[in-house]
């Protein structure tokens, strides 16, 4: 290795110090310590299926149940190192199953709940799942066709007893717990023996990529990866003991696993489960009043759209003006708190008054009044969205990472943040920008590779240990990193111009009417865009203008809506170079969702799907 490629002394010292903190430990050790120290504190809260009341288990109860579930899996024949597929909503049983597999020496693998049967078959076959745990009838119906093609799948556990079929292959969740209790009574030291055999270098999970660029790949994440990530995140101040949290993103996503399982275990977090983010999230947040919240950009955009709709419906013009003035103060105040800046005393006083009289009540109405840490990640965070929440007095701290780095590698913090960036590298993390703009990173957070994919693993991490993220970005003089695009998603026009589609799309969706946007122009003479309306904002916008429509499709065809969207495109174009500007566009009569396949389960755009599904629309934009 060249000397210039070797880690600096400060980085080596950080890695060594953190390495000593976690030496020889696994997540199983962390759960045992938390259950011992904070046994009576709340761990996981879930709604009762019948009464809808919150039911809570403590950390001591959590570990007792985990050990029983582990014994149940052993009773089903699970061997050390074997994989167990999990397809459940965010709920206590999902986490208990995950940790139970781990304590039995197995590898839990959460599947996205939206997968089709053929996708289930591919993923379960790839990881050679020995057991599956599914939520209920819907998941079971999609698993059964795949299960017949998986000779290695020995058992299917169904959480909902009413949906559990008869037969030796099937077992209800209650049956698994009963089997575990019997196994514990008969062989009391068996689970402890399995735990003793687990090493920090063993997998804590496989994380399957969401398939935006082809077949999903199983990312191997180890106990050592996870615990290093927990320790460095703790140093940033963004992760603290005993925080209150709403779990709603799929547990197949690296961020949700860290927050709802790994950080929860290590920091004795109190987690509340939201089973359906589409219909329940806003209500759940209002009830729980979390002290920490992580949202992918699309979720923050949905919050923003809802607030804008409320403000637009305010009949009192003076009240609307007061809110606008307060939010202007909030934005100026938060901007003044950025790294390297100083807040003038008069601005601090102005903000305190605006916050008490206007902004805090708005946050309270949203259930965000207790929020100490607000974060975003997993996709580019539109600057206008960050500014909007800054106007409400919230610093939404953008972070950056991926499954292949076992989570975040850069973070903004409350004391050191810069809007429009994803923060600075965490302790022991090296980062550099390659000649072609690709972000490279090297640290103990880099995963060992992909399951059964040696060629892709070799392409992921080079001989010097640098992980090639596939993201394009930059780093400023203070170390703050900006991510501008995916390397493989750059548009190269017929004229040879390299264009970032994300940069164009962020400007387009800055208008509240536009919910989603895809910019296209690869090997074409100019850029075009396919757009959708925001289903939360568009009806309220139309109603305020006396426009009657029974559906989103009707609104998408209305002349006034089309004219407003046209003005939004013109506004976006005014901020773009000529070669980047959208020449033609089409407003679709639908909204893109994970269920309709244009978005991943974490609401990232599946460009290939949109390109294929709307190929005729795109072609028409070039043929007139």
DSSP string, 38-85: STTSEEEEEE-TTT--EEEEEHHHHHHHHHHHHHHHHHTTPPTT-EEE
Average pLDDT over residues 357-363: 94
**pLDDT score of 608 more than 50:** yes
d(CA 624, CA 620): 6
**pLDDT score of 500 more than 80:** no
**pLDDT score of 260 more than 70:** yes
**pLDDT score of 356 more than 50:** yes
Beta strands in 88-240 (DSSP E): 107-110, 129-134, 155-158, 170-172, 203-208, 218-222
What are the tens digits of pLDDT across the range 7-50? Answer: 788 898 999 999 999 999 999 999 999 999 999 999 999 988 77
In the sheet with 481-486, reading across from the earlier edge strand, the strands are 430-433, 438-442, 467-475, 481-486
Average pLDDT over residues 249-262: 93
Residue 569 is inside which H or E element, if any?
helix 559-573
What are the tens digits of pLDDT across the range 402-437? Answer: 999 999 999 999 999 999 999 999 999 999 999 988
What's residue 430's pLDDT? Answer: 95
What's residue 289's pLDDT? Answer: 96
What are the tens digits of pLDDT across the range 434-472? Answer: 998 899 999 999 999 999 999 989 999 999 999 999 888
What's residue 153's pLDDT? Answer: 95
The candidate with the shortest Cα–Cα distance to 314, out of 279, 276, 358, is 358
**pLDDT score of 188 more than 70:** yes
**pLDDT score of 512 more than 70:** yes
Two tokens, residue 1:
């290795």
- Cβ atoms of 462 and 438 within 8 Å: the answer is no
Two tokens, residue 302:
């949905």
d(CA 108, CA 126): 14
Per-residue pLDDT band at 155 (split at 50, 70, 90): very high
Per-residue pLDDT band at 494 (split at 50, 70, 90): low
The pTM score is 0.82
What's residue 116's pLDDT? Answer: 80
Per-residue pLDDT band at 3 (split at 50, 70, 90): very low
Q: Is the dihedral of CA 531, 536, 540, 541 positive or negative?
A: negative
Beta bridge partners of 295: 376
Per-residue pLDDT band at 214 (split at 50, 70, 90): low
What's residue 211's pLDDT? Answer: 52
Q: What is the DSSP string of 311-333?
A: HHT---HHHHHHHHHHHHHHHHH
What's residue 487's pLDDT? Answer: 74
What are the tens digits of pLDDT across the range 300-341? Answer: 888 888 888 878 777 788 888 999 999 999 999 999 999 999
What's residue 497's pLDDT? Answer: 67
438-442 and 430-433 as β-strands: parallel, antiparallel, unpaired?
antiparallel
Two tokens, residue 394:
């919230």
Q: What is the DSSP string of 337-385?
A: TSTT----HHHHHHHHHHIIIIIHHHHHHHT-TT-SEEEE-SS---HHH
What's residue 496's pLDDT? Answer: 61
Average pLDDT over residues 601-610: 80
What's the chain's average pLDDT? 91
What's residue 216's pLDDT? Answer: 83
Average pLDDT over residues 545-568: 92
Alpha-carbon distance values, 166 to 158, 163, 172 (Å): 11, 10, 10
Beta strands in 380-525 (DSSP E): 396-402, 407-411, 424-425, 430-433, 438-442, 449-450, 467-475, 481-486, 491-492, 498-499, 514-520
More confident residue, 216 or 387: 387
Task: Provide the CA 492 distance to its chain's centre, in angstroms.
Answer: 29
What's residue 428's pLDDT? Answer: 95
Beta-carbon count within 10 A of 49 CB: 10
**pLDDT score of 1 more than 60:** no
What's residue 313's pLDDT? Answer: 76
d(CA 584, CA 404): 37
d(CA 550, CA 545): 15
Average pLDDT over residues 79-107: 97
Residues ≥6 apart with Cβ < 8 Å to 397? 238, 373, 374, 375, 376, 411, 412, 413, 414, 417, 423
What's residue 50's pLDDT? Answer: 79
Average pLDDT over residues 108-132: 91
The candidate with the shortest Cα–Cα distance to 124, out of 105, 109, 106, is 109
């Amino acid at each position: 290795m060249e000397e210039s490629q070797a880690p600096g002394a400060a980085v080596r010292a950080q890695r060594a110090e953190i390495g000593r903190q976690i030496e020889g430990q696994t997540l199983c050790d962390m759960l045992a310590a938390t259950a011992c120290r904070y046994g009576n504190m709340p761990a996981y809260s879930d709604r009762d299926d019948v009464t809808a009341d919150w039911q809570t288990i403590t950390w001591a109860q959590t570990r007792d149940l985990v050990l029983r579930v582990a014994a149940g899996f052993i009773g089903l024949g699970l061997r050390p190192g074997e994989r167990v597929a999990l397809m459940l909503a965010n709920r206590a049983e999902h986490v208990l199953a995950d940790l139970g597999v781990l304590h039995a020496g197995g590898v839990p693998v959460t599947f996205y709940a939206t997968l089709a049967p053929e996708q289930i078959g591919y993923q379960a076959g790839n990881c050679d799942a020995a057991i599956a745990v599914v939520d209920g009838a819907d998941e079971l119906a999609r698993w059964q066709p795949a299960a017949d093609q998986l000779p290695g799948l020995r058992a299917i556990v169904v959480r909902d007893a009413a949906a559990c079929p008869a037969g030796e292959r099937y077992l209800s969740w209650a049956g698994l717990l009963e089997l575990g209790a019997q196994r514990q009574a008969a062989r009391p030291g068996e689970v402890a023996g399995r735990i003793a055999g687990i090493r920090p270098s063993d997998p804590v999970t496989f994380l399957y990529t969401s398939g935006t660029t082809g077949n999903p790949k199983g990312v191997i994440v180890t106990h050592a990866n996870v615990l290093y990530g927990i320790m460095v995140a703790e140093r940033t101040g963004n992760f603290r003991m005993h925080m209150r949290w709403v779990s709603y993103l799929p547990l197949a996503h690296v961020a949700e696993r860290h927050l709802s399982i790994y950080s929860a275990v290590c920091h004795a977090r109190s987690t509340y489960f939201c089973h359906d983010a589409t219909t329940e999230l806003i209500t759940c947040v209002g009830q729980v009043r979390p002290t920490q919240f992580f949202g992918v950009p699309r979720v923050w955009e949905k919050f923003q759209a809802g607030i804008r709709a409320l403000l637009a419906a305010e009949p009192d013009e003076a009240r609307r003006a007061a809110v606008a003035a307060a939010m202007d103060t909030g934005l100026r105040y938060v901007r003044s708190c950025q790294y390297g800046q100083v807040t003038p005393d008069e601005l601090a006083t102005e903000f305190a008054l605006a916050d008490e009289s206007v902004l805090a009540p708005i946050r309270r109405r949203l259930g965000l009044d207790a929020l100490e840490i607000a974060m975003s990640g997993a996709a580019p965070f539109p600057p206008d969205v960050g500014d909007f929440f800054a106007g409400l007095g919230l610093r939404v701290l953008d972070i950056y990472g991926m499954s292949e780095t076992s989570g975040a590698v850069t973070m903004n913090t409350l004391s050191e943040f810069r809007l429009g960036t994803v923060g600075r590298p965490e302790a022991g993390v090296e980062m550099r920008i390659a000649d072609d703009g690709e972000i490279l990173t090297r640290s103990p957070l880099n995963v060992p590779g992909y399951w059964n994919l040696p060629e892709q693993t070799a392409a992921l991490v080079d001989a010097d240990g640098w992980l090639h993220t596939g993201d394009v970005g930059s780093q400023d003089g203070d170390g703050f990193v900006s991510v501008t695009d995916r390397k493989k998603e750059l548009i190269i026009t017929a004229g040879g111009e390299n264009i970032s589609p994300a940069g164009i799309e962020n400007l387009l969706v800055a208008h509240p009417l536009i919910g989603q946007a895809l910019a296209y122009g690869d090997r074409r003479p100019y850029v075009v865009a396919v757009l959708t309306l925001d289903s939360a904002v568009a009806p309220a916008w139309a109603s305020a203008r006396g426009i009657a429509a029974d559906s989103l499709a009707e609104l998408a065809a209305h002349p006034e809506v089309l004219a407003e969207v046209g003005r939004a495109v013109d506004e976006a174009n005014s901020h773009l170079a000529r070669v980047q500007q959208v020449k033609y566009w089409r407003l679709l009569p639908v909204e893109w969702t994970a269920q309709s396949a244009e978005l991943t389960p974490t609401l990232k755009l599946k460009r290939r799907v949109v390109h294929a599904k709307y190929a005729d629309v795109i072609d028409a934009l070039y043929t007139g």
